[in-house]
Structure 1
Amino acid sequence: MPNGVACSVSNCSYWNQGNRCGAQEIAIEVDSHAKNHWNEEFAEEFYGHKDSARMSSVTCCLTFQPKSSDK
């Protein structure tokens, strides 16, 4: 089911025709935290952290998974 999120990364396994993300949920992070492993923390204040971004170019979609090459 399309979620209405536009995406131009056509090599993602969730990419659908019409530049739409086909993932049921997406995870987005600011680039400075993209490599952090928030799910390894045990306190809610770390897992449910909030950030702000001044512009979209400093954000990263963590949902991205490359399409498998065996297709």
Structure 2
Amino acid sequence: MPKGVTCSVANCNFWKEGNNCGADEIKIEIDQHAGANLNEEFAGDELGLYHQDEAKQSAATCCQTFKPKE
């Protein structure tokens, strides 16, 4: 579990009592790439898969670790 990571999204599959995150790792992306499928592998980085981005404020980011509880 990520140490010291708290979350207030109670309907996330990884949400634990006390607002603790129970995910093994956290994946964060800027909103601009929120819908990108980064799980597929392609040869090289000509498609921008190994990109680096900057967010000017936290509101421009999203947590891709979120998974709704069933």
Same fold (TM over 0.5): yes
For the residue of structure 2 that corresponds to 1:38, the secondary structure is coil
Letter of the 2:69 partner, please give it.
Answer: K
Unaligned runs of 5+ in 1: none
Aligned-pair CA distance for 1:5 = 1.1
Q: Deviations along 1:19-67, whole A, 9 cap, x unmatched?
A: 1111011111000110011232412473332111111111111011111
Q: TM-score, structure 2 length as denominator?
A: 0.80
Larger helix proportion of the pair: 1
2:21 paired with 1:21: yes
Unaligned runs of 5+ in 2: none
Higher relative contact order (CA 8 A, sep 6+): 2
Q: TM-score, structure 1 length as denominator?
A: 0.79
Distance 2:34 2:2 in 1: 25
RMSD: 1.8
